Amino acid sequence: MLGYMQSRRCAQAIVIATAFSSPVFALNFNRWEGNTNSSDDYNNYQNWSESQVPNSTDQATIYSGSAVLSANSPTLGGMLAGLSGQFFTSNYKLTCSGTVDADSGGEVYVQYINGGSVGLQTSLLEATNGGFIELQYSNSNAKATNVTVDGTSNLQAEGTLTVSSTYTNKGTLTDYGVALTAGTFTMGGTSSQPATISVGSQSTSTISSANFNLDSTASGVLSTYSSINVGAFEANLTLADTSQGFDQVSSTLTVGNTAQLSLTQGEWQFNNTVNLNGGTSVSAAATINDYAAYTSNMNVTGYANMVAGEFDGGAAVNIASGAVLYVGSPYFRGTAANHQISFTGAGTLDWNGNTVIGYSSNGIPSTTVSVNGPIFNWEGTSGTSGTLDIQNGELDVYSTSIQPRLVHLGMFIFSVNGYDGTMTVEGGSTLNIPNASWTLYGTMNLGPGAIVEGQSQTLTINGINLPANTYSINPNTNGSTLADIKEALQFNSGVIYMQGGSGLQLDGATTYAGGSVTSAPYLLPPQGSGPLGLVVQNGNATVTANTNLFCNTFDMDGASNTTTWTIDAGATLTQQAWFINSPATAANLFHSTMTINGGIVEMETNSGVWTLAGGTVNMNVSGSSSPYLAANELILGTGSSNGTVNIGAGTTAYIAGGLYSGANSVSGGNVVNVGVGSTLYISPTFGSDANAVLTKNGPGTMIIESGDSQTHGSGSVINVNQGELDLNSNAINSGNPTLNLNVTGTVKMGSDQRLASLHVLTGGAVDLLTGANKVLRTSSLTIDTGGTLDITNDGMIVDYTGSSPLATIGTYIASAYDNGAWDQPGLTSSTASVKKGTAIGYADNNQFHYTTFDNQSVSSNAVLIKYTWYGDLNLDGKVTSADLALMSTTGNGWSHGDLNYDGKVNSDDYSLFMLGNALQDNSIGANVPEPTVIAFAIPMIAPLMRRRRA
């Protein structure tokens, strides 16, 4: 072994190789000096024994010749190998408490040959003046308090070297697989004598220290006259700062073909040049593992791999043509304001994992990363979905290719630019990609003042995640205070999350193409305050696929109140904002236009309503798809603004959240237009504010469903100008009637109705649909000439104050009578026109003082109207002697016997009485208390009448 070492090191002295089986001390030296006891002469080798060597107070020196020890020895005070002296150990354990020094060409070899424990423990292991120290083989165990290698000397290591205090390297550390541990590792060279660390071929080495100082001379001046070379084939060097401190390295760093530098602990800042000289394939890449900081220039040739790296401000990275730089989870940090980190060259830049730009622990602003030249792949060849976080700076990508992705369309394959991970552009930061359209398949986070821009490129976004504050996408501003995406914008799917007081302003045309585009996690009261965040839609919006908008406030028509919404066929817009106006108010105003082309809109607000304040909803059929407006109640109009609903021709439309007419000062009020051949269904609520006006136009039909709950304020008005209104639920179920109904078109009533007033204008028609015991009740009834009110087989109550309208109501009925044909305008019964023996009876309750009529409570000031039998003068649904008695009294009108409405009682009326009495059956029931029925024969009527008159 010693022969091998001497031939390898070109030693000057004689090498004595030993492989002793018993303790042997072979000494061959010109002079040995030591501070020995008087009885000990260590110049005489015979004085050396297992139990007697120079002690801890002695210093043994070899000026020339050699010493070979093979024994288990006690403590050696110290050793100096000077001139051409050599000190060898073999198969021994030696403890040295002084200094082991290779000086002036002296050499100290610590070897392991035949097994056993081998160690050197010294207070100082020093190579000076061209001295040479070698630690050989992995099982060696050298320990020292201090190690110094000066600029003329070298230390070659293959083993374990432990330095409890300081390792100082000003010469050359040649590493063949050492495990070197030091309290402080210091290296610094000069222009004439550079300090180096060099790792041998196929060697795996570790240098660990509590404190690395790789850039200082002895005087502490920064030195660039040193280098770390891991360029040998399959060499692997690990640097580990066990204190995990910050290590500035002014040394030049070179990592070559298949070589690796691993930085496992601490933070590493390289202030000089980093050369990554890899091979021609990924398997031959030059690799830097783990965590590092790079501020120097970097040159990349061939394939290079940085598993994790940090680039500091001012760094310039050149990637040569044909070279590929793989970077995993990079950090880009400015060390001064407005620092720029640039990537140039004709190669390929490939990012993998999480990326942070502008990170600054001391708040230094505006770190710019510029990718200008290399092909840019920001998800890496593996396509991993990392994150991009621009915290305090800017990313400018001038590459025309951004992570090409293969998209299959039929038999064709296209390459598109895209990013799968989460992208964050925080406040004051910018993402600028001017040369390429691209798609964000992941999630984008925006901060206040963030800018995402290009030059008329297209940006497609799956989702946006918004922390606190207010944001804008595509605003017509300079982006100084708003988050700004200036490219064409489309939300395909994904989720927008907002927290706290956050918000999103959309100033450009926006396409909602699916997913939960706006979503705010929340807790309902009392645990929480409800959903969070504000969304302002300034630009026109189109919904092409099922989309959920969920936040605290959604201003659907933006600051200018001009935004239009289009809902395509088959698409559902679920708007779950608690409020749909900004600032948030319970009014939830929408001033613009929403067109539902066969789609569905679910409007869900905390207050349960939303308001068209000058706004319009258009609903059109598309193919076989009917438009739906569902969830919460739609209010038409408020204040000085009306609301309008238009139903296109041939459309069956549904307002399934309810419809409410709000009070406003606009002439004609709120409007519902239902086109030809169209039907609008309204449920589950229908109502009006006090003094609100709703006008129904168009030839189509508007249907209030049978289960609907209606609430109308005092003085509310519905004008049915055209088409048909079907009222299948009561306008009010209790209390005083409030709704005023004016009819020029057609109204069909499928249930009881209580109205403040009913005015049937010329050409208008009101029909009580056939059904048992329906009652139309109003406080005012007006039927213009040419208007028709058909009670079919039901009844009416006209409540009044002041004078009775009995006579006027009689003229309405007489106008329609037509000798029993009931085919003229007025107050008529289409059932009476076909059922013989029936007509419309009417009476003032002041005559009978009923307390109930047709199951409704009535006062004496009411005109009672009923489809019944001729002769049913008291309107109880049958003809009895009680009715006959009423015919004998004076007066006119039905209740006094004027059964043909001609203003008198005569034989014609008697004939009708007899007809009704003869034909009556149980088809018209009694609804009021009656005296006992007295049977009588028709021939007896005339004598009875004469007897009464006598």
The SS3 assignment for 558 reads: coil
Residue 923 pLDDT greater than 90, yes or no: no
Beta strands in 791-853 (DSSP E): 795-799, 826-828, 838-844, 852-853
Identify the pLDDT of residue 465: 55
CA-based nearest residue to 473, from 536, 416, 522, 429: 536
Q: Which residues contact 746 (CB under 8 A, 6 or more apart)?
A: 720, 723, 724, 725, 764, 765, 766, 767
Are residues 310 and 294 in contact, defined by beta-carbon separation less than 8 angstroms? yes
Identify the pLDDT of residue 83: 55
For residue 583, say if its preceding peptide bond is cis, omega within 30 degrees of 0.
Answer: yes
Beta strands in 639-678 (DSSP E): 644-647, 652-655, 659-661, 670-674
Separation CA 182–CA 184 (nearest Å): 5
Identify the pLDDT of residue 76: 55
Residue 763 pLDDT greater than 60, yes or no: yes
Separation CA 168–CA 213 (nearest Å): 9
| Chain segment 275-324, per-residue pLDDT in tens | 889 888 888 888 888 666 666 788 999 988 888 777 877 788 999 998 88
| Chain segment 382-397, per-residue pLDDT in tens | 555 678 888 888 888 8
Report yes or no on whether pTM surpasses 0.85.
Answer: no
Residue 733 burial (C-beta neighbours within 10 Å; 0-12, 13-18, 19+): exposed
- Which segment, 22-31, 143-152, 789-798, is predicted with the most confidence on average? 789-798
Radius of gyration of the chain (CA): 51
Residue 608 burial (C-beta neighbours within 10 Å; 0-12, 13-18, 19+): middle
- Which amino acid would we find at residue 706? S
Identify the pLDDT of residue 454: 65
Half-sphere exposure of 476 (CA within 13 A, CB side): 9
Residue 643 pLDDT greater than 90, yes or no: yes
Separation CA 87–CA 14 (nearest Å): 10
- Which amino acid would we find at residue 490? Q
For residue 526, say if its preceding peptide bond is cis, omega within 30 degrees of 0.
Answer: yes
Would you state the torsion angle of the CA atoms of residues 869, 875, 878, 880, taken in this order, to the nearest 10 degrees? -110
Are residues 77 and 98 in contact, defined by beta-carbon separation less than 8 angstroms? yes
Residue 352 pLDDT greater than 70, yes or no: yes
Separation CA 351–CA 399 (nearest Å): 14
Pairing of strands 387-390, 541-549: unpaired
**DSSP letter (8 states) at residue 851:** S
Separation CA 349–CA 492 (nearest Å): 28
CA-based nearest residue to 504, from 475, 531, 542, 540: 475
Beta strands in 266-344 (DSSP E): 267-270, 274-277, 286-290, 293-294, 298-301, 303-306, 310-312, 316-319, 324-328, 331-333, 340-344
Identify the pLDDT of residue 60: 58
- Comparison of pLDDT for 559 and 191, the residue scoring more: 559
| Chain segment 146-177, per-residue pLDDT in tens | 777 777 777 777 777 778 778 777 777 877 77
Identify the pLDDT of residue 389: 84
For CA atoms 418, 421, 422, 427, give the dihedral sign: negative
Pairing of strands 495-498, 484-485: unpaired
How many of the other CB atoms lie within 10 Å of CB of 837? 21
Q: Which residues on adjacent β-strands are paired with residue 505?
A: 472, 536
| Chain segment 508-567, per-residue pLDDT in tens | 778 888 877 665 555 555 656 667 777 778 888 999 999 888 877 788 888 888 999 999
The SS3 assignment for 173 reads: strand
Q: Provide the mean pLDDT of the chain.
A: 77
Residue 28's pLDDT band (cuts 50, 70, 90): very low
Residue 793 pLDDT greater than 50, yes or no: yes
Identify the pLDDT of residue 209: 81
For the record, the structure tokens of 166 come out as 């300081």
Separation CA 13–CA 66 (nearest Å): 7
Find the mean pLDDT for residues 918-941.
57
Q: Which residues contact 939 (CB under 8 A, 6 or more apart)?
A: none
Residue 502 pLDDT greater than 90, yes or no: no
The SS3 assignment for 165 reads: strand
Q: Which residues contact 745 (CB under 8 A, 6 or more apart)?
A: 696, 720, 721, 722, 723, 724, 725, 764, 765
Identify the pLDDT of residue 138: 45
- Which amino acid would we find at residue 344? T
Q: Look at the chain and count its residues.
A: 950
Separation CA 818–CA 824 (nearest Å): 7
- Tell the residue number behind the tokens 């390295």, with chain if given: 249
Helices H / strands E in the chain, number of each:
5, 91
Helix axis angle for 907-919 and 941-949, nearest 10°, is 140
Residue 942 pLDDT greater than 70, yes or no: no
- Tell the residue number behind the tokens 């070197």, with chain if given: 180
Per cent of the chain over pLDDT 70 is: 68
Identify the pLDDT of residue 141: 61
Identify the pLDDT of residue 17: 26
Are residues 600 and 626 in contact, defined by beta-carbon separation less than 8 angstroms? no
Q: Which residues on adjacent β-strands are paired with residue 227?
A: 196, 252
Q: What are phi and psi of 814, to 5 degrees?
A: -60, -35
| Chain segment 393-438, per-residue pLDDT in tens | 888 888 766 655 554 455 655 555 667 677 778 777 888 787 766 7
**DSSP letter (8 states) at residue 468:** S
18 to 5, 95, 158, 159, 928: CA distances (angstroms): 13, 20, 20, 20, 136
Identify the pLDDT of residue 757: 97
Identify the pLDDT of residue 944: 36
**DSSP letter (8 states) at residue 56:** T
Find the mean pLDDT for residues 677-704.
96
| Chain segment 251-267, per-residue pLDDT in tens | 788 888 888 887 877 77
Q: Which residues on adjacent β-strands are paired with residue 213?
A: 186
Identify the pLDDT of residue 174: 77
| Chain segment 734-747, per-residue pLDDT in tens | 788 999 999 999 99
Find the mean pLDDT for residues 912-939.
66
Identify the pLDDT of residue 200: 74
Identify the pLDDT of residue 162: 78
The SS3 assignment for 883 reads: helix
| Chain segment 51-104, per-residue pLDDT in tens | 455 554 555 555 555 555 544 444 555 566 665 556 655 444 445 556 666 766
The SS3 assignment for 525 reads: coil
For CA atoms 729, 731, 736, 737, give the dihedral sign: negative
Are residues 194 and 177 in contact, defined by beta-carbon separation less than 8 angstroms? no
For the record, the structure tokens of 270 come out as 């390289």
Residue 931's pLDDT band (cuts 50, 70, 90): very low
Identify the pLDDT of residue 98: 61
Are residues 364 and 329 in contact, defined by beta-carbon separation less than 8 angstroms? no
Identify the pLDDT of residue 70: 44
Separation CA 584–CA 565 (nearest Å): 20
For the record, the structure tokens of 73 come out as 């020895």
Residue 704 pLDDT greater than 50, yes or no: yes
409 to 413, 420, 459, 745: CA distances (angstroms): 6, 20, 20, 55
